[in-house]
Amino acid sequence: MARSIARQAAMQLLYERLSGGDADDESLKLVYEQLSADQAAEGDVKEPSKSERTYISEVLSGVEEHRQELDDSIESHSTGSWTLERVPHVDLSILRLAAYEMLHRDDVPDNVAISEALELSNRYSEPKSTRYINGVLGAMEREKNEDK
């Protein structure tokens, strides 16, 4: 399976944790089965590969380890009166994933992290959320590039 499916699985597991779930191996198996069924045209894989499991594990632990930094960055780049408490859980999961990739993963270019976040938002969230997510991540990218 492609990295984008592993990214979808990671986002869903981040959402599960944010909503009070465990996001354990059983959850990962169920998520992959569903994503595989959705992507049947791409093959019949029902289990993540070793590299996909590694990526998902690194994302879950990295987001947890850097959560305060990620949340501070997301909140500081939000416009208007948006606080993290107002952000729907699915959107916050997408933002944390993309922010983690942008700030802590050298193997994911910023434009890919943003593009994939927008794809996740288009699939799992509301249209207005996509604009919000794009704005936050775009501001983060601009600041990151200014600091170089």
pLDDT single digits (tens) 16-69: 888 888 777 777 777 777 776 666 555 555 667 788 888 988 999 999 999 999
Rounded CA-CA distance 137/63 in Å is 16
Residues 6+ positions from 39 with CB-CB distance below 8 Å: 1, 5
How many CA atoms does the CB half-sphere of 6 hold within 13 Å?
Answer: 18
pTM of the model: 0.88
Question: What mean pLDDT comes out for the span 76-102?
Answer: 91
Distance (Å) of CA 98 to CA 8, 52, 62, 70? 11, 17, 12, 9
For the record, the structure tokens of 114 come out as 């943003």
pLDDT single digits (tens) 10-19: 999 999 888 8
CA 49 to chain centroid, in Å, comes to 19
Residue type, 87: V
Distance (Å) of CA 52 to CA 58, 85, 92? 10, 31, 22
- Please check whether residue 114 is in contact with residue 137, taking contact to mean a CB–CB distance below 8 angstroms: yes
Rounded CA-CA distance 8/17 in Å is 14
